[in-house]
Structure 1
Amino acid sequence: MECSNLIATALQQGDISASLFKGSAHTALIADLQRVLFELGFKRELKFENYQATGAYDSATASAVTAFATKNNLLGDGTTVSNPLAKLMLQRHSFLPEMYLLWSIHNSDLRTKKYISKGTRMSVTAIQLMLFERGYAEQLNFKKFGADGSYGKSTRKAMIAYAKDNGLESDGDLLTRPLMDIMLKDIDAFYGKDWSELAVNNLPNADSPLVLFEASRFQGKPCRADVLFVPMLTKINRYAEQADVFVHVTSSFRTSSNVAGAIVKPATRSNHMAGHAIDMNVIYDNKRQFANSKVLARYPEVPDPVRRFIKFIIDDPDLRWGGDFRDRDPVHIDDHLNRNLGRWDERYLAM
């Protein structure tokens, strides 16, 4: 569940409203918009009985755009999508993996005490993002720390303030039922009525081989993967340790076309959709420097720790670095599952 590449690219090119408007012929971009709106929870407005992005900017699409804008306090009649509206859609969309984690905590048995400080890095990150979205950036010291997944004084301070503002007492650590109810209500304020329906597909459960991978050198977005890809992720983590870098995950398992009730087969066999790929940036120099796609694309002319890490990936016979692809994708790492289409289909269906 990651930001749409088509919408993000269109934003970089200028005024997206020139392409996203009622009656537009930009069907691929419109289909991407519909997918994002569907995942943001606006299935009813889109009138999707099943997941199906038609690529036609019709009245239902306009209704979904209007509903999102209204939920997020932006003006618009839905007949066009402005740059600010598109950017906010992508931001809300990028937060969905963390929001799914909070949904799962909310739906768990809270009679067994759960503490933020004892949670996973992913669950702490999710809470930090929620607090940031609700206006507690100052208490979080967000400019300095961001959503780093580490529970400390700033996160505790922000949670205490959040609880107090909602008429609750909190020690800033214990996740009580009243506190989780308020948190989920606040998440619902940004999304459509059906956003949480996809949580089951995006989180580990008894019927799925999907796992949440955590390791010493992984940070960023929740790393969701097929359990069979975990050995590869473990190797990537070991290479990061040896190169003294951190892997900042920006994308992992994607459900863009792999949705319960889907009637449209994926156009391409992306390894992301089978849980066998990650997109990432590389953090180095004691977490002070960030190697994004532009930096990674310059390999081997990159800082030495980054060069060593990428070289480890390239030299591993079981891994592929996207910088070596014909259409270069320097943030991508996978295990080339899709070279065996039957095997890819098997893992895709298992998800």
Structure 2
Amino acid sequence: MVRQGLGAAVLSFVVLIGFPAGADEAAAHGHDRAVTVMTRNLYFGSDLGPVLAAPDFPAVVAAVSAIFASAQATDMPGRMEAIADEIARARPDLIGLQEAALWRTGAFTPPFRTPATTVAFDFIELLVHALAARGLHYDVAATTINLDAQLPGFTSNGLEEIRLTDRDAILVRRGGDGPLLRWSPADVVTGNFATNVTLPSPGLGAITIPRGFAAIDVIIGETAVRFLTTHLETVSAAVQVAQAQELLAGPGTTTLPLILVCDCNSSASGTGLDVTPTYDALIAAGLDDAWTDKHGRAPGFTCCQAADLQNLPSALDERIDLILLRGDVGVRHARLTGARPGDRTSGPARLWPSDHAGVTATLDLP
């Protein structure tokens, strides 16, 4: 795996709270050993497949234009508001985000292709600001840059560079009524997998899709745990399994209790399009599934709504968004978020917040 430096892992607007608290401060928060965690895929806003399928470069430009327009049509700011409402109801202490997209545009300047830097939509910033407006404050403890792709396409300004940066991220609650959380940037690790899928593209040539992970060691009350998030490959089951193995051998190797939250793209329910060996391999490696601990074989579907997010009824038909545990961690509650029609955006289109549902769990620490 490729480890990224700490400076890349912690955004500039993180408010650091990683210094040990005194006994009085710890006592003020009580000694409850419960923590609530969440996994949430935010959804880019469009299917990227047409770019890879485009037969030539003019078709690539047309596909990029359509993808960006489709993403804009999903009301990305409104969706982050709806997800902030989910978080406000669940009050998680730690959140793992996948597809935390950063959409940027810039002048089209061939042949040098200057990197696009004008922010159109920053999902992390939109979400953190929406949470702050609700009186909830979260630090962006870690970000991992995965795919960072730029191609020309048409926007309302004409032909521009359109850049999509895919990120995983960890948010840590700051303040509030939950358990005292203590962490340091020195305890953050991010990285990309050594094994990634490479896909053929008639219009672009071979394209490698990087994926990665983010992890943090955090003291919750009086107990230290490792919190880990990832978004595993979806196209190749073999690559997905290799990434899971790399995860377990790398950041998943710890003597601390482990909380892994993921869009693992492997159907725990045995339904849908993503039935792969990865879920069983993770369970065989000693991880417990928080959902099955509380709900047994109840479906708990988390994926996937239509690409335009306009479908009714819900199209969720597989459980690929998971909270997995190791180290004598108990489960009080496990719930879905963003899965009911009432969870849709408040605008006239009434869109699902994402093509995925979220999952929260309240856990008892050892």
Q: Which has the higher contact order (CA 8 A, sep 6+)?
A: 2
Q: Is TM > 0.5 for Structure 1 vs Structure 2?
A: no
Greater strand share, structure number: 2
Greater helix share, structure number: 1
